[in-house]
Amino acid sequence: MHPATFKTGPKQLLQADEVIIDNYNKYYAALKSPAVLAGLSFEERLYTAHEIVEGVKREDMYFYRRTNEDFNMRCEGNNAVGINARPVNLASNDYLGFTKHPVVIKAATNAIQQYGAASGSVPLLAGTTGLHKRFESELASFLDFEKAITYNSGYAANYGLLTALLTASDVAILDMSVHASIIDGCCNTNKIYFSHNDPTSLKIALMKATGYQNKLVIIDGVYSMDGDIALLDEIMAITKEEHAWLMVDESHATGVVGGQGKGTHSHFGLSEKATILTGSLGKALGGSGGYVAGSSELVSFLEITSRPFIFSTSIPQHCAAQLSAALCLLKTGDGALDRLWSNINYFKRGMDEIGFEPSQAASAIIPVIIRDEVKLLNFCSFLHHNNVFVNPVFYPVVSKKKSRIRISVTALLKEDELSYSLDRIETAANKFNIV
């Protein structure tokens, strides 16, 4: 057990505390679609949103935009295993710890000194440097695609690709759990959803989708909320049979699954590729930005049609340089991927031993499904006051029966941090009758 002295104890909600749950549901409804505030004046919209956030904060139940100081304020001295009372971070997507890797930091620092702190322009004008081009070509070769193009976020990559490619005469056939940036990117086209990671449901959706000029099936390689891996082999075969294109968002797969962290194709040993790959560069690769990989023709098409690419400042040069260094670490294998998987397996074993349902997660994302929103908040509050950094996920982003804590494991976590977190999770699970 690790000694901990807390200035204040966690607040505990009662089942009757419906106002706060209501506020959380409204909070998530607005996150999912700001349109829920339509029909109000500008002032009313802002006031309503402000009240939702303040209502949750007043109850000391606001678990977003927290900083290390928010934790330290609650704790006396060096209370938890995190050095100097730093919280144990179970919410980061820096899966390989590359944001703190000395080789990555050195590459970024050298590039800043040599090229300045930012690109200063959009990519088509003065915002593309040799470092950008080098990284794009290294990334394409790492992913085994003809070409890659970078955007300033993974969101912009998905949105920019899909709004450019899909029109009112086409149809997007979407796994119902794809990322918000994909759904937003399909705003100009027709959408048909199929059941999550269900090849039979995909087949039916594709057969029903008649009368469209083009069909694009869209999946995530690893799903950001459930951490499960797409059944890419089966999905690719069906997509081919039905003459559709396939796009895979590899944001949580690149650097995590497959040999050398090459992603979902490698995980399944597939030599044939999806038509288009996209992803965030802000997760395992430890940088920021996003990419689309595909044919040379696709990249040329995006260069002249994709508005978030054309009209937005490119990622800084140092970011391109550090991403090249991160790719190099992945290719040469510096041990981070092994450490990540050893931590994932340790943590999953611990969760099984506590008595949580074995999860389908096969990646660094481990959801803890807590089917009761009051218990979920109490659980989160308890961990927050015990210096374990996790975030809750609520309806309507997930269904009420699937409200959860989204835990992510990284290579940086030490064994004592993992065991401390598991110990606190077990205490909370017993306290709130979760297992």
Q: Which residues are catalytic?
A: 224, 252, 283
- In the complex with ligand PLP, the residue whose CB is nearer, 82 or 316, is 316
**Whether 264 contacts 250, CB under 8 Å:** yes
CA distance 200 to 204: 6
Binding to ligand PLP (CB under 6 A) within 206-225 occurs at 220, 224
Nearer to ligand PLP, 17 or 184 (CB): 184
Are 342 and 416 spatial neighbours (Cβ–Cβ below 8 Å)? no
How many other CB atoms are found less than 10 A from the CB of residue 353? 10
Nearer to ligand PLP, 220 or 226 (CB): 220
Alpha carbon distance 26, 36 (integer Å): 9
Cβ-in-10-Å burial (0-12, 13-18, 19+) of 36 comes to: middle
User: Does position 99 bind ligand PLP by CB under 6 A?
Assistant: no
**What six digits make up the tokens of 391?**
């975030």
Burial zone of 162 (CB within 10 Å; 0-12 exposed, 13-18 middle, 19+ buried): buried
Please name the residue that has the structure tokens 């891996």. 229
Task: Considering the complex, state which of residue 224 and residue 378 has its C-beta at the smaller distance from ligand PLP.
Answer: 224
To the nearest whole angstrom, how small is the minimum distance from the Cβ of residue 153 to ligand PLP? 3
- Site for ligand PLP, residues 295 to 314, rule: CB under 6 A: none
- Based on the shown chain and the rule CB under 6 A, indicate whether residue 154 belongs to the binding site for ligand PLP: yes
Binding residues for ligand PLP restricted to 230-289, rule: CB under 6 A: 249, 251-252, 280, 282
> What's the closest the beta carbon of residue 252 comes to ligand PLP, in angstroms?
6
CA distance 380 to 384: 6
Can residue 228 be called a binding residue for ligand PLP (CB under 6 A)?
no
Report the residue number, 251 or 306, with the smaller CB distance to ligand PLP.
251
Q: Is residue 179 within the footprint of ligand PLP (CB under 6 A)?
A: yes
The pairing of beta strand 365-369 with beta strand 404-408: antiparallel
Instruction: Report the nearest approach of ligand PLP to the CB of residue 171 (Å).
Output: 21
d(CA 47, CA 61): 20
Residue 290 touching ligand PLP (CB under 6 A): yes
Question: Binding marks (x or -) toward ligand PLP, 114..153, rule CB under 6 A?
Answer: ---------------------------------------x
Phi, psi (deg, nearest 5) at residue 88: -80, 120
Query: How far is the C-alpha of 403 from the C-alpha of 277, rounded, in Å?
Result: 29
Give me the residues that bind ligand PLP (CB under 6 A), please.
Answer: 153-155, 158, 179, 181, 220, 224, 249, 251-252, 280, 282, 290
